[in-house]
Structure 1
Amino acid sequence: MEALRADMFEEICPSSLLPFRVGGDKWAGMVLRCLADGPRRYSELRIPLARISPKVLTQSLRALERDGFVRRTASTKPSRRVTYELTDLGRALLEPLEHLCTWAENHWDDLLDARES
């Protein structure tokens, strides 16, 4: 599994302009996309999601877990480790999420114009 890139969600990323929320908050769709390739540790998620405060990222992960999109697994051996991964329900959301991201890319100028007016 490849490491998550720091520039995965740059400030000008179309997904940040989506006028609707996936999973309940502004960041949930980005968190889901970070987990698409498999389980990740919190510290790995912080790399592409650096614009999110640790508190807000934790809240987003808890909400996604509560809604059944993400599974949190804690282990103590060989060391304390917490990972987050998509559930089947969360994985089923990836395709519609990809369509939403494509829509945002195709309507980038319209979204920016609307925000500025």
Structure 2
Amino acid sequence: MASTRAAEVAEVLWELKRAGKVATYTAIARRAGFSAGANGRAMKACLKTIRRDWPHLQWWRAISDDKTVKAGGEQEGHLKEIGIEPSGDPQDGRASLIVEDEAVMNWEAAEETEAAELG
């Protein structure tokens, strides 16, 4: 059975998919109502559960706070498909990502836009 945190993160991943965006572990965890933990450990645990219990969700839209991924890994491939490329040579098996501001979810800006449209 999935944890409550994983279920909340799953909802946030659904939001990211609909918006066509990515977000950092910290931003996703805050949106879901908890802390990402040291080095994103809590988020990594949630993502592991999500990949097991909800494999259809685009878990790869959650990126580490330092905007790196495992070089040559599955996540890097998915991100390339949506136009997010690694930059330069990988270091210590990690590839740095070039992530344009428009590709990163900004919930505050989205909520302000929604409020303006309703008001």
Fold shared per TM-score above 0.5:
no
Greater share of strand residues, 1 or 2?
2
Higher relative contact order (CA 8 A, sep 6+): 1
TM-score scaled by structure 1?
0.38
TM-score by length of 2: 0.37
- Which structure has the highest helix share of the two? 2
